[in-house]
Amino acid sequence: MPSIKSTVDTRVVEVIALSGFDKALAYAVPPTCQGAVKVGSLVRIPLRRRSELGVVTRFGTEQIVPPGKLKMLFEVVQDYPVLPPDLMELYRWALRYYASTPEAVLETMIPAAIRKGMKAKTRLYLSAGKAPTADELAKLEKRAPKQSELLRFIRQQLKPLPRADILKRMKLSASACDALVSKGFIRETDTEEERIAYEDELGEVETVASDSRPTLTDEQAVAVDAITAAIDADEFSVRLLHGVTGSGKTEVYLNAIEKIVATGGGVIFLVPEVALAPQTVGRVRARLEARGVHTVVWHSHLSEGERYDAWKALASGEAHVVVGARSAVFAPVQNLRLMIVDEEHEPSYKQEESPRYHGRDVAVYRAHISKAVCVLGSATPSLESLYNVERGKYAVDRILNRVDNRQLPKIHLVDMRREGHTGKGPSPISQMLADKLIDRFEKKEQSILFLNRRGFSTSMMCPGCGYVASCDHCSIPKTYHRTDKKLRCHLCGDEEYAPVKCPECKSANIRMRGQGTQKIEDIVQKILPRAKIVRMDADSMSKKNLYRKILNDFRIGKIDILVGTQMIAKGLDFPNVTLVGLVDADRSLHVEDFRAAERTFQLIVQVSGRSGRGDRAGEVVIQTHTPHAPPVQFARRSDFDGFQLEELEQRREFNYPPFRHLIRHLFRGRNPDKVNFYIDQWTKLVEEKMGDRLEVRGPAPAPIEKIRDEYRFQLWYFAPSASRVIVELAALRESFKMDKEVIDLIDVDPMNLS
């Protein structure tokens, strides 16, 4: 009997198991599943001696399977394919471009709730059944008064009510209800119940300011017309919406979304931070609910039930619009016609775990697959997007003025080098910023203080012997956290109680150096004892929906001053905020990263843009130790074109991105000599085999040389096209024999160079 070898047989499928197997396995399709199995279906399969879930990647197989060895899959787990055709094509592209494993890509694209085979939540409802006779009612009242009470209540209701709620309210046992159901007097129905994120008491506040339809400015109208024309062309295109902060880019998005949903199309709306999702979802729902359009939320802070119901609503076609963070780019939206990437320049769109995809770039490629329009919006576009405009690959729409011709905030520069010589000693809050905080508080206006450092102090050191409290497992100092008086490593999480004496010289003069958000909160509270000050960073936002509550409290005026990190630096719209302070504006300028100047410029412009968005004029205080640095000066003048020309010229001179693609190859392991040996051998092989197609720089220690007791070394590859070299690079890596104690990873188009 010959072996099975098929390429078109629909009775045989190839499946990628979600269990670390990382290669396609062939299975037979039982007759009971013949009509249900599709490419992209989630199926349950036998694997070794256990049952696992996997995704069907193709019908037929070219694998040689011995007779009688082809096992049958057990069942199709979900009613809808977890990867419909467009997502299956996207999966294959991401697998190649990001040089990742099949399982890593599938786990990123498919929510955990779906991979676990979760089902819809159901709820029992009660309604009136057959009418009892007078004798039956009399018997119930005499022998089972509780049943009689329940029956009378149910017969008075106009619609079915949840069983659990009724029994709890009436303090009845389940047996009383079951007896009436068995007699037919009460009908019990099992109804699916959708768990909709943000449909709670907080959601009402989020839409208060979003239920009116503003008149478009002339510049907004031109942008809307251009995007609408692109949609009508029914072809793939990318448009960069370059609008100053407060210019109403979201209103342009909403008009484009309305155009799409009116024709039954689907929309994906990406935001860079989870904190931005409530505000955006509120505005989208307020605009679309009147049309009966269902909008779902998609990000990592949702419960598994909320993620499942959002996925099911999209996969079934019940919902057409999804708003979410980076992972929403993989949402199963049907008939996708529009992709929106708000704040497209944000590095948070880049995932730092495998697969190391960039949400903006994946959005552009998915739009290409679906022949959809992709709109990239920002007040400070990335140089990569601007370069694509320059090359004619992207179109651009500009909005140069704020809504209602509101003025951009007045910007003040404070040279912190001089601030330390005032005789009062150095303070992270300058006298100018302190005075303006007091002034705004007295006027009942709100302020935002931005500092991109968590914790109370950045490090603890001894001025006597120079000891610095560093992590034993990572090559960085530990951060002091005042709330629990602990030193904590923000890379590996290792923590210990802060010493009261220097561990080295036993001096009691050990002190904290630098400042984090906790310390700024503490200092400002002393300046304004009566003010309500709230800190918003990764340490304080551990509880689900806490960030939503804080932002809503801030929006309605319960909070006077918001102190936070990057999660409050972009996109948020608070009309009563008239003062923004950047406590250490140029910190991002002094890192080993060719994007340092671009990040600093973007940060200053974006944070400044949170001020003066209402009827009152805004002010910004930028505290810096390098006031004459070009990014600071360009940002102070809001001179985007000047910054772009200077920065692109420098990038062109060194042939850095966007003029070439960059690929980072990191090697790590516990034995630094062993890691060094293998990276040296690999470097020689790459230069020999691919030296004519890419430039190799390194090897060199990573900026953070040790994390979690693993030493890290890196290589850089520069190439005109990443897609042309990455497949060959991955194949070469597959053939290279690496010690199992040395782990390497390839990061295409990296955003974090540490």
CATH number reported for the structural domain that contains residue 78 in this entry? 3.40.1440
- Same domain? 316 vs 209: yes
Q: Quick one: tokens of 700?
A: 């060199």
Q: What is the predicted pLDDT for the residue at 210? A: 43
Poorest-pLDDT segment among 35-49, 298-312, 467-481: 467-481
Distance CA 550, CA 534 (A): 8
Dihedral sign, CA of 480, 483, 486, 489?
negative
Residue 396 and residue 111: Cα distance in Å, rounded? 34
Per-residue pLDDT, averaged over 628-636, amounts to 90
Residue 566 resides in a domain: yes
- What are the tokens at 58? 């193709």
Note whether 678 and 667 are within 8 A (CB).
yes
Q: Which amino acid is at 455?
A: G
Q: How confident is the model at residue 349 (pLDDT cuts 50, 70, 90)?
A: very high
- The predicted structure's pLDDT at residue 458: 62
pLDDT score of 544: 61
Percentage with pLDDT > 90 across the chain:
45
> Cα(81)–Cα(91) distance, rounded to whole angstroms?
14
* Domain end residue (candidates: 148, 171, 192): 192
Residue 236 in contact with residue 372, Cβ under 8 Å?
Answer: yes
Task: Say yes or no: 631 and 588 in one domain.
Answer: yes
Residue 325 lies in a domain: yes
Please tell me whether residues 344 and 280 are part of one structural domain: yes
- Among 64, 83, 102, residue at a domain's last position: 83
pLDDT (tens digit per residue) in 109-133? 999 888 887 777 777 888 888 888 8
Percent of the chain with pLDDT over 70: 90
Q: Is 186 helix (H, G, I), strand (E, B) or coil?
A: strand
Choose one of 405, 430, 447: the last residue of a domain.
405
Which residue in the block uniquely carries the two structure tokens 């995704």?
55
Q: Identify the domain containing residue 151 by its residue range.
A: 122-192
286-290 — which CB contacts under 8 Å span 24+ positions? 286/207, 286/210, 286/211, 287/210, 287/213, 287/254, 287/257, 287/258, 288/257, 288/258, 288/261, 288/321
- Report d(CA 513, CA 503) in Å as an integer: 17
- The separation between CA 289 and the C-alpha centre of its own chain, rounded to angstroms, equals 25
State the number of CA atoms in the 13 A half-sphere of 72 facing the CB: 9
pLDDT at 614: 67
C-alpha distances in Å from residue 111, one per residue of 100, 299, 332, 539: 18, 10, 11, 25
Q: Choose among 61, 59, 81: nearest CA to 69.
A: 61
Residues 563 and 665 in one domain: no
Interval 548-569: pLDDT, tens: 788 888 888 899 998 887 766 6
Residue 493 lies in a domain: no
Judged against a pLDDT cut of 80, whether residue 211 lies above it is answered with: no
Q: Who contacts 715 (Cβ-Cβ below 8 Å, separation ≥6)?
A: 664, 665, 667, 679, 682, 683, 686, 696, 697, 698, 699
Verify that 39 and 176 share a domain, yes or no. Answer: no
672 and 591, same structural domain?
no
Residue 519 confidence (pLDDT) above 70: yes
Phi-psi region of 506 (alpha: psi -120 to 50; beta: other; left: phi over 0): left
287 has pLDDT over 50:
yes
CATH number at residue 389: 3.40.50.300
| pLDDT at residue 110, as a whole number | 93
Is there a domain that residue 480 lies in?
A: no
| Same domain, yes or no: 634 and 529 | yes
CA gap 429, 415 in Å, rounded: 12
Q: What is the pLDDT of residue 498?
A: 85
Q: Among 201-210, 420-429, 504-513, 677-686, which stretch is predicted with the lowest mean pLDDT?
A: 201-210
Count of the separate structural domains present in the chain: 5
Residue with tokens 């051998």: 681
- Is a pLDDT exceeding 90 seen at residue 727? yes
- The reply to whether 23 falls in a domain is yes
Cα four-point dihedral sign 415, 421, 426, 429: negative
Residue where the block lists tokens 């910007």: 411
| pLDDT tens digits, 527-552 | 999 999 988 876 555 566 677 788 88
Tokens of 309: 């119901």
186 and 233 in a single domain? The answer is no
> Domain check: are 553 and 422 in the same one?
yes
Does the residue 175 lie in any domain? yes
Strands (E), 295-409: 295-298, 321-324, 336-342, 373-378, 395-399
Residue 630: exposed, middle, or buried by beta-carbon count in 10 A (0-12, 13-18, 19+)? middle
473 lies in a domain? no
Q: What is the pTM of this model?
A: 0.84
- Which pLDDT score, from 0 to 100, does residue 513 have? 65
Co-location of 435 and 562 in the same domain = yes
**In this structure, is the dihedral angle defined by the CA atoms of residues 467, 469, 472 and 478, taken in order, positive or negative?**
negative
pLDDT of residue 189: 84
Instruction: Determine which of 171-175, 364-368, 564-568, 603-607 has the lowest per-residue pLDDT on average.
Output: 564-568
- Whether 675 and 736 map to the same domain: the answer is yes
Residue 228 falls inside a structural domain: yes
208 & 270 share domain = yes
* Res 2 pLDDT > 80: no
| CA dist., res. 449 & res. 528, Å (int) | 14
Sequence-ordered list of residues with C-beta below 8 angstroms from that of 45, at least 6 positions apart, any chain:
15, 17, 25, 27, 51, 52, 53, 54, 71, 73, 74
- DSSP of 297-325, one letter per residue? EESTTS-HHHHHHHHHHHHTTS--EEEES
